[in-house]
Amino acid sequence: MKRILKSTIAIIVLSMVMVACGPTTSKKGGSKGVLSGSQAERAYVAPGEHDEYYGFISGGFSGQLAVYGLPSGRLFRVIPVFSQDPEKGYGYSEETIPMLMTSHGFVPWGDSHHPDISQTNGELDGRWIFINENNTPRVARISLETFETEEIMEIPNSAGNHSSAFVTENSEYVVAGTRFGVPTPQKDIPISEYKSNFKGSLTFLKIDPENGLMNIAFQIRMPGFNFDLAHPGRGDSHGWFFFSSYNTEEASTLLEVNASQNDKDFIAAINWKKIEEYVAQGVGTMEPARYAHNVWDDHTHTATTTMEKEVLIINPEDVPGAIYFLPTPKSPHGCDVDPTGEYIIGSGKLAATITVHSFSKMLKAIEDKAFDGETYSIPIINYEAVNYGSLEQPGLGPLHTEFDTRGNGYTTFFISSEVVKWNIKDLVVIDRKPTFYSVGHLMIPGGNSRKPFDKYLVAMNKITKDRYLPTGPEACQSAQLYDISGEKMELLLDFPTIGEPHYAAGCPADLLASKSVKIFKLEDNTHPYATKSEADSKVVRKGNEVHIYMTMIRSHFSPDNIEGVKVGDKVFFHVTNLEQDFDVPHGISMLGANTSELLTMPGRTETFVWEPKEIGVWPFYCTDFCSALHQEMQGYVRVSPKGSKIPISYTIDEEVPGEDL
- DSSP 8-state secondary structure symbol assigned to residue 476: P
Whose Cβ is closer to other proteins: residue 197's or residue 634's?
Answer: 634
Which phi-psi region, left, alpha or beta, contains residue 90 (left: φ > 0; alpha: ψ -120 to 50)? beta
The footprint of other proteins on residues 606-645 (CB under 8 A) is 627-629
We find the least distance from the C-beta atom of residue 651 to other proteins, in angstroms, to be 12
Q: Does residue 185 touch other proteins according to CB under 8 A?
A: no
Residues in contact with 373: Cβ distance below 8 Å, sequence separation at least 6, in sequence order: 379, 380
Give, as ranges, the residues between 503 and 522 that touch other proteins (CB under 8 A). 522
Interface region with other proteins, contact rule CB under 8 A, candidates 138-146, 207-215, 480-488, 652-660: 652-660
Binding of other proteins at residue 535 (CB under 8 A)?
A: yes
Does residue number 553 form part of the binding site for other proteins (CB under 8 A)?
Answer: yes
Most distant pair of Cα atoms in the chain: their distance: 90
Least spacing, CB of residue 430 vs other proteins, in Å = 56
Q: Which amino acid is at 284?
A: G
Least distance in angstroms from the C-beta of 298 to other proteins: 20
**Which of 146, 340, 580, 651 contacts other proteins by CB under 8 A?**
580
472 and 445 Cβ atoms separated by less than 8 Å: no
Task: Please state, in angstroms and rounded to a whole number, the distance separating the CA atoms of residues 237 and 230.
Answer: 14
Name the minimum Å distance from CB 182 to other proteins. Answer: 54
660 binds other proteins (CB under 8 A): yes
Contact 354, 411 (CB under 8 A): yes
Binding region for other proteins (CB under 8 A) out of 196-204, 503-511, 527-535, 636-644: 527-535
Is 586 an interacting residue with respect to other proteins (CB under 8 A)? no
Give the nearest distance from C-beta 94 to other proteins in angstroms: 24
* DSSP letter for each residue of 209-220: TTT--EEEEEEE
The distance of closest approach from Cβ of residue 533 to other proteins in the complex, given in angstroms and rounded to an integer, is: 5
On the question of a cis peptide bond just before residue 246, with omega within 30 degrees of 0, the verdict is no
If one counts every other C-beta atom within 10 angstroms of the C-beta of residue 90, the result is 24
- Interaction of residue 550 with other proteins, rule CB under 8 A: no
Cβ-contact 626, 586 below 8 angstroms: yes
Check: CB of residue 529 under 8 Å from CB of residue 600: no
Contact 342, 332 (CB under 8 A): no
The residue type of 123 is E
To other proteins, the closest distance from the beta carbon of 532 in angstroms equals 6
Taking the C-alpha atoms of residue 243 and residue 229, their distance in angstroms, rounded to an integer, is: 6
Residue 357 or 604 with smaller CB distance to other proteins? 604
By beta-carbon proximity to other proteins, the closer residue of 409 and 602 is 602
| 533 is an interface residue for other proteins by CB under 8 A | yes
For residues 219 and 171, is the Cβ–Cβ distance under 8 A?
Answer: no
Given a contact cutoff of 8 angstroms between Cβ atoms, the answer to whether 198 and 187 are in contact is no
**Binding of other proteins at residue 525 (CB under 8 A)?**
no
Question: Smaller CB distance to other proteins: residue 210 or 660?
Answer: 660
Nearer of residues 7 and 580 to other proteins, judged by Cβ = 580
Least CB distance to other proteins at residue 578 (A) = 6
**Contact stretch for other proteins (CB under 8 A) within 354-362, 484-492, 607-615, 650-658:** 650-658
**Least Å distance between CB 73 and other proteins?**
36
Cβ of residue 468: shortest distance to other proteins, in angstroms? Answer: 43
CA 296 to chain centre: 17
Residue in 7, 170, 555, 561 binding other proteins, rule: CB under 8 A: 555
Q: Please state the closest distance from residue 527 (CB atom) to other proteins, in A.
A: 16
Decide whether 208 or 581 has the Cβ nearer to other proteins.
581
Residue 534 touching other proteins (CB under 8 A): yes
Looking at the Cβ atoms of 372 and 536, the one nearer to other proteins is: 536
Helix, strand, coil: what percent of the chain each, to 5? Answer: 15, 45, 45
Residue 188 or 660: the one with the smaller Cβ distance to other proteins is 660
First CA to last CA distance, the chain? 89
User: Which residue's CB is nearer to other proteins, number 311 or number 626?
Assistant: 626
Q: Please give the residues from 347 up to 366 whose contact with other proteins meets the rule CB under 8 A.
A: none
Question: In whole angstroms, what is the distance from residue 548 CA to residue 552 CA?
Answer: 12
Closer by beta carbon to other proteins, 340 or else 533: 533
Give me the count of residues in the chain: 661
Q: Is 402 in the site for other proteins (CB under 8 A)?
A: no
Does 578 contact other proteins by CB under 8 A? yes
Residues 6+ apart with CB under 8 A from 613: 567, 592
User: Alpha helix locations (H) across 369-465?
Assistant: 383-386
- Reduce the secondary structure of 547-575 to three states and give it as a string: EEEEEEECCEEECCEEEEEECCCEEEEEE
Q: Does 658 bind other proteins (CB under 8 A)?
A: yes
CA angle 170, 272, 221 (to 5 degrees): 130
- The whole-angstrom separation of Cα 412 and Cα 395 is 9
Binding footprint of other proteins, residue count (CB under 8 A): 24
Q: Which of 551, 595, 596, 605 binds other proteins (CB under 8 A)?
A: 551
302 vs 551, beta carbon nearer other proteins: 551
Among 183, 536, 547, 630, the residue binding other proteins under the rule CB under 8 A is: 536
Closest among 483, 467, 347 to 415, alpha carbons compared: 347
Nearer to other proteins, 274 or 554 (CB): 554
Q: Which of 77, 206, 465, 554 binds other proteins (CB under 8 A)?
A: 554
Q: How far is the CB of 148 from other proteins (least distance, A)?
A: 25
Q: Between the CA atoms of 561, 564, 566 and 570, what dihedral angle is there, to the nearest 10 degrees?
A: -70
Up-side HSE of residue 265: CA atoms within 13 Å toward CB?
Answer: 32
- Could you tell me which stretch among 31-39, 257-265, 506-514, 551-559 binds other proteins (CB under 8 A)? 551-559
Asked if 244 contacts 337 with a C-beta cutoff of 8 angstroms, the reply is no
Q: Interacting stretch for other proteins, rule CB under 8 A, among 215-223, 396-404, 417-425, 578-586?
A: 578-586
Among 589, 518, 598, residue whose Cα is nearest residue 87: 598
Q: Give least dist CB 45 to other proteins, A.
A: 31
CA distance 362 to 368: 10
Binding site for other proteins (CB under 8 A): 522, 532-536, 551, 553-556, 558, 578, 580-581, 627-629, 653, 655, 657-658, 660-661
